[in-house]
Amino acid sequence: MMLSLLADNGYFSQDNVNSCAEHGIAPLIALGREAHHLPIAQRLQPDAPEPQTDDPLVNMAHQLKTQSGRKLYGRRKCTVEPVFGIIKQVLGFRQFLMRGLQAAAGEWKLVAMAYNFKRMHAMAAG
């Protein structure tokens, strides 16, 4: 079983893709912004044949366009993205107010703790 790395476009670079490949990790890093909802014909079309190359970037780009690659990359949205959205929108945390690494780390711990308490309360009530 090969490990996969799911990351958004902010982490894309040739060096990151090559580094993943060297360490036996299959990278799925967005190459740019894509439409959220592909046309139905495009979603249902069969996968293109695999490229005959050892270039990790070409292989990753192909994998991102396959049915299984899109499905796997889509899992990224259901893991961490909602947490940051809730922290920003519901808790209203958009920037650090404290200066210095130690103070900002403490502030982040408070925000994470508030999120976890909110989540525990919602789970206990439901």
Which residue carries 């200066």 as its tokens?
99
Q: Are 30 and 8 in contact (CB under 8 A)?
A: yes
Average pLDDT, integer, range 13-31:
93
> For residue range 66-82, what is the model confidence (pLDDT) as tens digits?
999 888 888 876 766 78
Q: Are 60 and 2 in contact (CB under 8 A)?
A: no
Better pLDDT: 71 or 62 = 62
In the structure, what pLDDT confidence band is assigned to residue 83 with cuts at 50, 70 and 90?
Answer: confident
pTM for this predicted structure: 0.61
Average pLDDT, integer, range 91-119:
95
| Pairwise CA distance, residues 69 & 122, whole Å | 33
At residue 56, does pLDDT exceed 80?
A: yes
Q: Which two tokens stand for residue 15?
A: 């060096």
The pLDDT mean for the chain works out to: 89
- pLDDT for residue 91: 92
Q: Write down the domain spans for the chain.
A: 3-77, 81-125
- pLDDT for residue 53: 92
List helix spans (H) across 45-100.
Answer: 56-65, 67-74, 81-89
In the structure, what pLDDT confidence band is assigned to residue 102 with cuts at 50, 70 and 90?
Answer: very high
DSSP state of 54: -
- pLDDT for residue 81: 74
